[in-house]
Amino acid sequence: MATASLSASARADTGKGVARTLRAAGRVPAVIYGHARAPMSLSLDARELGKLLGRIAAEATVIELSIDGAQARTLIREVQRHPFKKQILHVDFQELVAGEKVIVRIPLTLVGTSEGVRMSGGIMDQPLRELEIRCDPVIIPSHIDIDISALGLGDSIHVRELKLADGIEIMTELDATICVCAAPRAAIEEAAKVEVTAEAGAEPEVIRKAKADEEVEEKK
């Protein structure tokens, strides 16, 4: 389980005007909520928050949030960002309760170089980069490593093939493809050319056959 620390201050005032004032002062408005508490409005140091988010997998990291000295174990549930500026607009935290399972998204990391890439010039494609799981916060993995060294050309790995620790329930569709060792683009293009050529060459044969049939009919 990955953990990190962050400081926050409680705030009583809310609203768009307050949020704009906070951002102008280098702060980020936030809220913390949970099963056993009422939502509380917070503010965070924008620079401290930016550095933190730059080095963690936010959804898979337990944040030890210090709120005016009081401690709360939390998960970041949403980060709202400006559509084109490098600015964080708002953050939602969920307080964790002992024994209460949570649903999180964990990064999937491919480890090694596949045989198909190494020996046949294949291309490793990874359509699924995160896995949704449900578990107790104390056993949340920071990431999941997947060994791809044995994958040959055309081989793939699906969610159902993953072996996770006891107590972790997979929520993602089990038939979803995590990665596949695809044929190199040049080979695909060459195969397509061969197929087109074969189809083009088959048509004159049909025409010639039809013409021969017509000549037989004329002789009769």
pLDDT in tens, 160-183: 999 999 999 999 999 999 999 998
Q: Are 176 and 194 in the same domain?
A: no
Considering the domain architecture, whether residues 91 and 141 belong to the same structural domain is answered as no
Claim to verify: residue 46 and residue 131 sit in the same structural domain: no
User: What pLDDT is stored for residue 216 in this prediction?
Assistant: 47
Q: What is the pLDDT of residue 4?
A: 94
Q: Residues 102-149: pLDDT tens digits?
A: 999 999 999 999 999 999 999 999 999 999 999 998 899 989 999 999
Kindly indicate the confidence band of residue 209, based on its pLDDT and cuts at 50, 70 and 90: low
Flag whether pLDDT at 186 surpasses 70. no
State how far the Cα of 171 lies from the Cα of 71, in Å rounded to an integer: 30
Question: 73 with 93: CB under 8 angstroms?
Answer: no
Over range 197-213, report the average pLDDT. Answer: 52
Q: How many CB atoms lie within 10 A of CB 62?
A: 21
Domain count, the chain: 3
Q: What's the rounded mean pLDDT across residues 10-35?
A: 92
Phi, psi at residue 162, to the nearest 5°?
-75, 140
191 and 177, same domain (yes or no): no
Q: What is the pLDDT of residue 13?
A: 86
Looking at residue 195, its pLDDT comes to: 56
In sequence order, what are the residues at sequence separation of 6 or more whose Cβ sits closer than 8 angstroms to the Cβ of residue 90? 19, 28, 29, 30, 31, 78, 79, 80
pLDDT of residue 214: 54
Percent of the chain at pLDDT exceeding 90? 70
Alpha carbon 62 to chain centroid, angstroms? 18
Indicate whether 78 and 117 sit together in one domain.
Answer: no
Stretch 193-202: mean pLDDT: 54
Structural domain span for residue 208 = 186-220
On whether both 131 and 166 belong to a single domain, the answer is: yes
Residue 38 pLDDT class (50, 70, 90 cuts):
confident
User: What pLDDT does 164 receive?
Assistant: 95
Q: Could you tell me the CA-to-CA distances from 133 to 140, 146, 172 in Å, in that order?
A: 9, 16, 7
E strands, 68-220, are 70-81, 88-95, 102-111, 123-125, 130-135, 144-147, 156-158, 169-170, 177-182
What confidence score (pLDDT) does residue 218 get? 53
pLDDT for 35 beyond 90: no
Radius of gyration of the chain from Cα atoms? 28
Interatomic CA distance for residues 164 and 169, integer angstroms: 8
Decide: 139 and 165 in contact? Cβ < 8 Å. Answer: yes
Alpha-carbon gap, residue 42 to 9, rounded angstroms: 5
CATH code for position 20: 2.40.240.10
- Determine the pLDDT at residue 132: 97
Mean per-residue pLDDT of the chain: 86
Could you identify the residue written with the tokens 């400081």?
A: 7
> Which CATH number is 149's domain given?
2.170.120.20
- 116 and 170, same domain (yes or no): yes
Q: Which of 69-73, 106-110, 199-203 has the lowest mean pLDDT?
A: 199-203
